[in-house]
Amino acid sequence: MKLTIPPDYAGMRLDQALARLLPDWSRSRLQAWILEKRISVDEGGAIPKQKLWGGEKIQIQQPISDRIEAAYAAEAIALDIVYEDDVLMVVNKPAGLVVHPGSGNWRGTLLNALLHHAAQLSAIPRAGIVHRLDKETSGLLVVAKTLTAQTSLVRQLQERSVKRDYLALVLGHVSVEGWIDAPVGRHPVQRTKMAVTMSGKEARTHYRVMEKFDGCTLLQCSLETGRTHQIRVHMHSIGHPLVGDPVYGGKPKKVAGETGQLIAGFSRQALHAQRLELSHPQHGKKMTWEAVVPEDMNNLLLVLRQHREQSSSPANSLV
């Protein structure tokens, strides 16, 4: 892998700059690679504390297993591209598509599809993927097509200037808007799960009531931070887990007839990344994209609306 240190990284330590440019790997791992002489600066030696001037050429000999290497192969997988130019793409990811290869999902991922669509992404860390969505979450995510664009987008995420709005159908009745400010980290016992824990990282989710139904509420959730499973964990923590969530979901209160069956039988977490806003890395203009609600979630909402209209209670729609 070859990188060029951006000019505005002047004055930073080598390990600090690499940790920012390569968010897939921890600083300690990058420091180890430097000490193992797997990383060179301008074709010469390097040390972790080395100060940078900007413009240095970095070459990385990454120790990577054959299995992981095979995972980074181009595959002809259809993409729903909402927007594309020379420096970025915005993709509408369907539910069921894994974003990045990993344990149990080494092929057939969004990353494989991106490498087939744009071969130059093989030179960008993580094929330009800047942020992720869970496998069963649908909606928008942005992909950088150049290293400069990736650096800009990562910085915007760190500065919390990227706006990400989700539609989330949660169990129970949420009466007013609000926010959840609670740290999210690895569950202390069930290590495959996340949880609200004091040892976690700062996390804040804002939510607004969009529609009320019998047994559930449609919310717009806006991320101020972007922790793993953040919305799912936060909503569970206040007693309103997402409909269909197999990990953090709870049992829905009894709702009669077809509506109750649909809520109980929805096969994934009812979460959709609907809106994305960021500053374009090239010209700085604010750009916004929206993705329609996918068919499965839309069909559930249609039935819930019909049930609400047929019931004797007054309409609760706010939109």
Could you confirm whether 85 is annotated as catalytic? no
The encoded tokens of residue 72 equal 């980074």
**Which listed residue (8, 66, 80, 134) is catalytic?**
134
Contacts of 260 (CB under 8 A, 6+ apart): 215, 252, 254
Instruction: Please enumerate, as own/partner, the contacts of 188-191 that have beta carbons within 8 Å and a separation of 24 or more.
Output: none
Q: Which of 111, 91, 89 is nearest to 100 (CA)?
A: 111
Beta strands in 116-262 (DSSP E): 138-144, 163-171, 178-181, 184-186, 194-196, 204-212, 216-223
Asked if 158 and 151 touch (Cβ cutoff 8 Å), the reply is no
* CB crowding 133-146: b at 16 or more within 10 Å, else e: bbbbbbbbbbbbbb
Q: Which of 304, 217, 312, 301 is nearest to 260 (CA)?
A: 304
Residues classed as catalytic: 134
